Amino acid sequence: MQSKFSNGTARITRLGRRGCDLMEALGRAGVFLFQSAVGVPSREGWRLWLHQMHFVGVLSLAIVLVSGLFIGMVLALQGYTILVDFGAEQALGQMVALSLLRELAPVVAALLFAGRAGSALTAEIGLMKATEQLTSMEMIGVDPLRRVVAPRLWAGFVSLPILTVGFSVVGIWGGYLVGVEWLGVFEGSYWSNMQANVAFVSDIGNGMIKSAVFALVVTWIAVFQGYDLVPTSEGISRATTRTVVYSSLAVLGLDFVLTAVMFGGL
């Protein structure tokens, strides 16, 4: 009886401690975000930011665009087989565009970004920490939050929405290739239905807001995991995994919340 009771308290203690640890980590991550993101960048800061834009943005272009093309093509193919049963294949353009702009482009681009750029950011910053580069930077009198973290954070925040636009554009073009060129949907209705039914603010605008939120969350998780990891090879591999897992879950969870607010009439 006694041991059952103490087992129970031990479990509650453990749960409480885990909760405290979680809260502490969240607090640390918040302070970290504030310290690195706030402040006016110097001229050198702009140069570092541009360099990171190339690294996280331009180099992610290929995977994002190719995925966008295939997703647009699959959407058109699947959509056509359903719509044609109702004789509504003319609405294919609108279906492809709305699915991409509202959901698929922001979400899939963010997931790909987490895998391609997020994991690389974590591993890079983590390795800098493990090889004492961050410590030596501090000892030289340079704040690594401003020098290493801030350019990466801002580059991720800016580049993902741009990548999302690219994803949508290529996806719509992929849908056109399959729908119009291959399956024979009338070209005029593919484009005009799209034009008539896609609203700039509620569809494109909301999609971009989603993308900006995902960009912040994914990049934040990636740089924080890199900065906060245990500086060993095992620590780096765990942190890289955590970046991809946490980012993916955060993107999918936030997508539901944002969709409910934007389109669910909440």
Partner 1 sequence: MTDAPFIEIEDLYFSRGDHEIFRGINMTIPRGKVTAIMGPSGTGKTTLLKLIGGQLTPERGRIVIDGQDVHRLSRKALFTLRKRMGMLFQSGALFSDLDVFENVAFPLRVHTDLPDTMVRDLVLLKLQAVGLRGARHLTPAELSGGMARRVALARAVALDPELILYDEPFVGQDPISMGVLVQLIKRLNQALQLTSVVVSHDIKETLSIADYLYLIADGQVVAHGTPQTLDTNQDPRVSQFIHGEPDGPVPFHYPAEAFYRDILGEPPMTKTG
Binding site for partner 1 (CB under 8 A): 44, 127-128, 131-133, 135-143
CB of 141 to partner 1, least distance (A): 4
Q: CB-based contacts of 15: which residues, under 8 Å, 6+ apart?
A: none
Nearer Cβ to partner 1 (136/195): 136
Q: Which of 175, 162, 203 is nearest to 64 (CA)?
A: 162
Q: Which one, 130 or 209, has the nearer CB to partner 1? A: 130
Q: In angstroms, rounded to a whole number, what is the distance separating the alpha carbons of residues 211 and 208?
A: 5
Q: Which is nearer to partner 1, 133 or 189 (CB)?
A: 133
> For residues 37 and 169, which CB has a smaller minimum distance to partner 1 in the complex?
37
Shortest Cβ 90–partner 1 spacing (Å): 54
Dmax over Cα atoms in the chain, in whole Å?
78
Q: How far is the CB of 46 from partner 1 (least distance, A)?
A: 15
Contacting residues for 138 by C-beta, under 8 A, at least 6 apart: 144
Residue found by looking up tokens 């109702």 in the block = 86
CB atoms within 10 A of CB 226: 28
- In the bound complex, what is the minimum distance in angstroms from residue 240's beta carbon to partner 1? 18
- What type of residue is 191? W
Nearest one of 48, 19, 16, 30 to 155, comparing CA atoms: 48
DSSP 132: T
Query: Nearer Cβ to partner 1, position 44 or 181?
Result: 44
Closest distance of CB 35 from partner 1, Å: 9
